[in-house]
Amino acid sequence: MRDDNCIFCKLANGDIPTNSIYEDEMFKVILDMSPATRGHALILPKEHYKNIYEMPEDVVAAAFVLAKKMAIKMTDALGAEGFNLVQNNNEVAGQTVFHFHIHLIPRYSDDNQKIGWKPGSPSAEELAELRLDLLVVAILQDII
């Protein structure tokens, strides 16, 4: 299903012209209009999903398989020295357009970008408690 008010739905489905570099029945990959680095692109599903939480698992899997293939091809074609795959969910995590997308960001030694976080330093006890909390959730929801 598409959202007629979603800019990424319009881009993914050809309602707005893009600099598309790949397209299939499920996804369109376009160059980012405000790139972090040379070649920065976005994988956009043609169906509307606000974020990863709303997506069927098979669509998530297909998106990340495509991301790997694009990263390999783009690294080679652009002479990139590394690659970031970035996928944000919800505003607090940096999502600004609420249509699932994956950033494909080729990296170069001189690109002056800093994509990362400040590492924390939890105690061994905090990690053990967190692990138990997450295992309980996984077991209760039949994840494992």
Catalytic residues, which ones? 101
- Give me the residues paired with residue 104 across strands: 41, 85
Residue given tokens 């692990």 in the structure block: 131
Q: Which long-range contacts (CB under 8 A, 24 or more apart) does 50-59 make?
A: 50/98, 50/99, 50/100, 51/89, 51/90, 51/95, 51/98, 51/100, 52/87, 52/89, 52/100, 53/89, 54/100, 55/100, 59/26
- 8 A C-beta contact, residue 34 and residue 66: no
